[in-house]
């Protein structure tokens, strides 16, 4: 049974149809990359799946239950990484992550220190984020992937502003998450090189590519 299912999604913006008839499923261990040119509605779609936007009509199911009816259960099980990294410049990486962990109320066993070490920010644990580079700030956001116990990752352009080494690290994180039975829905203009299978969904017509 698929963990997540989207049926006949349709989005209209300013009297213009962005996509319609879009359906896809995510079974445990699956990765789906949403493709489409700028302005095709990728971010809108991801925000709708994440429960932030109601501009997309259609039906979505989590674990067989219709959304948004089972909204709270769904939100607990999903991690949304948006365009904006949700990193406060005045706070240190440690404080930023502690805040995110506090929002969910639970974390994985790696701990904040461990997550910071894994993304290469151990030395900057107590440096306010405003003194870090854009890529380093993005890494704070990526450390959330390690900390969150969510099974469903929704990643909007996760590779923005990070270096090559960081990109391959995120790719291996995504692959490992899928291997552990999680599901990933992501957009990126970067050519994905995962050492596992993944599917691509193009947004123009909603057809599977």
Partner 1 sequence: MSAGTGPAWLEIARRDLLIAFRRRAEAANPLVFLLIVAALFPLGVGPAPQELSRIAPGVVWVAALLASLLSTDMLFRSDFDDGSLEQIVRSPSPLYATALAKMAVHWLVSGCPISLVSPVVAGLLYLPAAAMPALLFSMLLGTVTLSLVGGIGAALTVGLRKGGLLLSLLILPLYVPVLVFGSAAVDAAAHGLPWHSELAILGGFALLAVTLAPLAAAAALRINLDS
Question: At closest approach, how far in Å is the CB of 191 from partner 1?
Answer: 26
Which of 59, 58, 147, 66 has the alpha carbon at shortest distance from 103? 147
Which is closer to partner 1, CB of 22 or CB of 75? 75
- Run of H or E residues at 113: helix 111-118
Question: At closest approach, how far in Å is the CB of 93 from partner 1?
Answer: 14
Which is closer to partner 1, CB of 57 or CB of 99? 99
Which is closer to partner 1, CB of 2 or CB of 82? 82
Q: How far is C-alpha 155 from the chain's CA centre?
A: 2
Which is closer to partner 1, CB of 12 or CB of 196? 12
Quote the longest CA-to-CA distance of the chain: 50
User: Is the distance from CB of 74 to CB of 151 less than 8 angstroms?
Assistant: no
CA dist 167 and 170 (Å) reads 5
Question: At closest approach, how far in Å is the CB of 54 from partner 1?
Answer: 5
Question: At closest approach, how far in Å is the CB of 157 from partner 1?
Answer: 12
Q: Which residues bind partner 1 (CB under 8 A)?
A: 50-55, 72, 75-76, 78, 80, 82-91, 95, 98-112, 128
User: Per the omega criterion (within 30 degrees of 0), is the bond before 186 cis?
Assistant: no
CA dist 203 and 117 (Å) reads 37
């Amino acid at each position: 049974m698929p963990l997540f299912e989207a049926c006949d999604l349709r989005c209209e913006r300013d009297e213009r149809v962005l996509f319609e008839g879009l359906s896809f499923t995510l079974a445990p261990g699956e990765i789906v990359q949403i493709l489409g040119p700028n302005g095709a509605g990728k971010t809108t779609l991801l925000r709708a799946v994440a429960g932030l936007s109601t501009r997309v009509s259609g039906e979505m199911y989590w674990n067989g239950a219709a959304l948004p009816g089972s909204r709270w259960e769904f939100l607990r099980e999903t991690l949304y990484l948006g365009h904006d990294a949700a990193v406060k410049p005045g706070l240190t990486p440690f404080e930023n992550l502690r805040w995110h962990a506090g929002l969910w109320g639970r974390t994985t066993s790696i701990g904040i220190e461990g997550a910071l070490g894994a993304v290469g920010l151990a030395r900057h644990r107590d440096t306010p984020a405003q003194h870090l580079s854009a890529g380093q700030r993005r890494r704070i956001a990526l450390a959330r992937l390690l900390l969150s116990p969510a099974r469903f990752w929704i990643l909007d352009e996760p590779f923005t502003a990070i270096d090559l080494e960081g990109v391959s690290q995120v790719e291996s994180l995504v692959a490992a998450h899928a291997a552990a039975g999680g599901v990933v829905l992501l957009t990126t203009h970067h050519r994905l090189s995962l050492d596992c299978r993944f599917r691509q969904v193009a947004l123009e017509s909603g057809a599977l590519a």
